[in-house]
Amino acid sequence: MADPHVIETVDLCKRYGTTDAVRGLTLQVPAGSIYGFLGRNGAGKTTTIKMLFGMTRPTSGAVRVFGLAADESHSSVEIRRRAAFVSEDKDLYDHMTVEEMIRFTAAFFPRWRRDLEERYLRAFDLPAGRKVKALSRGMRTKLALLVTLARGAELLVLDEPTSGLDPAMTEEVLQALVQHVAGGDTTVFFSSHQIAEVDQIADRVAIIDRGRAIVAGALDDLRERYRRVQIVFDGSAPDVTFRSPGVERIERNGRVLSVLSSGGAERVVEEARALGPVAVDVLPVTLKEIFLESVVTES
Amino acid sequence: MLFRPNPSLGVPIYLQLMEQVKHAIETGALRPGEQLPGIRPLAEELVINPNTVAKAYRELEHEGVIELRHGAGAFVSAAGRAKKGTDTLRAAQTIVAAAVERLHARGVTDEEIRRLFEAELAGLTKAAVPAGARNAKEKEGHRG
């Protein structure tokens, strides 16, 4: 039976010497989703990805991919067979040509999709005869993506797939990912510190900060739940607390009280009315704001 | 392109897409019986998640705005909202357009207009009126 969660971690921890890279990370990635793994540099994203593929062992906690324990060597082999990984460095062989790199990779994978190979070769406009070392950064990314997508893997794990790409190239990469997921039963898990691209293509997101997921869920659900309620007073704003569930942050600034809620606006507005304000505004909160607020609150 | 959701708006994309489909029907850009783009091509064209498009279509079907015919795709419903509301909504649009134009003339920005509309719809303006302010509208039936 297929596991509903392609990736699942429970209270996952990784310690390097005295540094905690990952501290109690719990994640659930459902099949068929495009999952954005958002965090600042050094938040623990790459370490987490390495643990998914058994490239580094967790200090404690559980990590399962396709329901298999990723820290056991025999299941790790199975995971690597069914899941594809593109590292941030886009590991490719510099001495090969584009064509050779593709043929070389194809030889390892019996489920190689020649149709996808040809499609992306055209779509990405890759020069088949050029040496890998002579490729631009964007071309390199596209080649790495091509050899990954054509593997026919059930799960794609991409570590910062668009880092260093210009906006046009980024759009091409995102387009390829959306197209790929729309075309079959693939799950994409990608790390990024680019909020805009996560916003654009992900349907689920986890924000990781210092090794812990501080916000996680369906993106549209977060967009629906998060609200900023701005309350304006005649004189200076009172120093009050709110009892409504989900109040994340209250800021007083002169006559304005700004309340960030992850539990909708209704209850907060009700409480605000009782304070006798001159104006109450409800504003939507963007993923960028959620990210900045939650990362800042922790420090 | 008929639909153009903005991912960084802070409003769920499926809701934006739903609104845009409804708007297209209301303005007559999409007519009853006409086919909507498929989930996959639309996701690819807009570069958004296919699950998001699927969710918008499901909700629109639930509201009776479109029909999902198995294997054939999504079609604008013949009955229901589209038929009933077109004239009313066209008239309403004229009113809104005029109001927006007047607000623009006074230098009110799009963002401010959007917020004013949202606040009005959420019923916030009543609570926001200061105790001492006189507002003819508030005189009758006002309860704290």
Q: Residues A263, A225: contact at Cβ < 8 Å?
A: yes
pLDDT of residue A105: 94
Alpha carbons within 13 angstroms on the beta-carbon side of residue A262 total: 15
Last residue of a domain, one of A200, A221, A242: A221
Average pLDDT over every residue of A129-147: 93
Average pLDDT over every residue of A126-134: 93
DSSP chain B: ------GGGSS-HHHHHHHHHHHHHHTTSS-TTPBPPPHHHHHHHHT--HHHHHHHHHHHHHTTSEEEETTTEEEE-SSTHHHHHHHHHHHHHHHHHHHHHHHHHTT--HHHHHHHHHHHHTTHHHHHS-TT---GGGSTT---
Chain B: give the shortest CA distance to residue A72, in Å: 33
Same domain for A157 and A20, yes or no, is yes
Q: Which residue of A has its CA nearest to B120?
A: A281
pLDDT of residue A299: 45
A199 touching B (Cβ < 8 Å): yes
Q: Residues A8, A29: contact at Cβ < 8 Å?
A: yes
Tell me the torsion sign for CA atoms A190, A191, A192, A198.
positive
B38 touching A (Cβ < 8 Å): no
Last residue of a domain, one of A181, A203, A221: A221
A125 touching B (Cβ < 8 Å): no
**pLDDT over threshold 90, residue A51:** yes
Same domain for A208 and A288, yes or no, is no
B7 chain-A contacts, CB cut-off 8 A:
196, 199-200
**Residue A4: which of A32, A36, A37 has the closest Cα?**
A32
DSSP A44: S
Q: CB–CB of A200 and B39 under 8 A? A: no
**Residue A82: which of A151, A184, A181 has the closest Cα?**
A151
CATH number of the domain at A47, please.
3.40.50.300
Q: CB–CB of A223 and B11 under 8 A? A: yes
pLDDT tens digits in sequence order for chain B, 144 residues long: 678 888 888 889 999 999 999 988 887 888 899 999 999 999 999 999 999 999 999 999 999 999 999 888 999 998 655 455 666 777 788 888 888 888 988 888 888 888 888 777 776 655 444 444 444 443 444 443
**pLDDT over threshold 60, residue A297:** no
* Count of residues in chain A: 299
Q: CB–CB of A220 and B131 under 8 A? A: no
**pLDDT over threshold 90, residue A6:** yes
B121 touching A (Cβ < 8 Å): no
CATH number of the domain at B54, please.
1.10.10.10
Q: CB–CB of A196 and B7 under 8 A? A: yes
Average pLDDT over every residue of A158-185: 89
Banded model confidence at residue A3, pLDDT cuts 50, 70, 90: low
Same domain for A185 and A284, yes or no, is no
State both tokens at A216: 């996680």
Average pLDDT over every residue of A194-217: 92
Q: How many domains does chain A have?
A: 2
- Domain range for A241 is 226-298
CA separation for the pair A170, A129 (Å, rounded): 24
Chain A: give the shortest CA distance to residue B22, in Å: 19
Same domain for A111 and A242, yes or no, is no
Average pLDDT over every residue of A269-296: 88
Average pLDDT over every residue of A275-296: 87
User: Which pTM does this prediction carry?
Assistant: 0.78
B6 touching A (Cβ < 8 Å): no
Average pLDDT over every residue of A209-230: 92
Which of B48, B51, B127 faces A280 most closely, judged by CB atoms? B127
Average pLDDT over every residue of A106-117: 92
Mutate to test the interface with A, among B124, B125, B142 (most CBs of A within 10 A): B124
pLDDT of residue B16: 92
Largest CA distance in chain B: 62
CA B122 to chain centre: 15
B124 chain-A contacts, CB cut-off 8 A:
269, 280-282
pLDDT of residue B143: 41
**pLDDT over threshold 90, residue A89:** no
CA separation for the pair B78, A41 (Å, rounded): 52
pLDDT of residue B133: 43
Chain A: give the shortest CA distance to residue B80, in Å: 27
CATH number of the domain at A261, please.
3.30.70
Least confident of A37-46, A94-103, A239-248, B87-96: B87-96
Same domain for B75 and B109, yes or no, is no
Mean pLDDT (chain A, rounded): 91
Mutate to test the interface with B, among A200, A204, A273 (most CBs of B within 10 A): A200
- Domain range for B75 is 7-79
Backbone angles phi, psi at B75, to 5 degrees: -130, 145
pLDDT of residue B134: 40
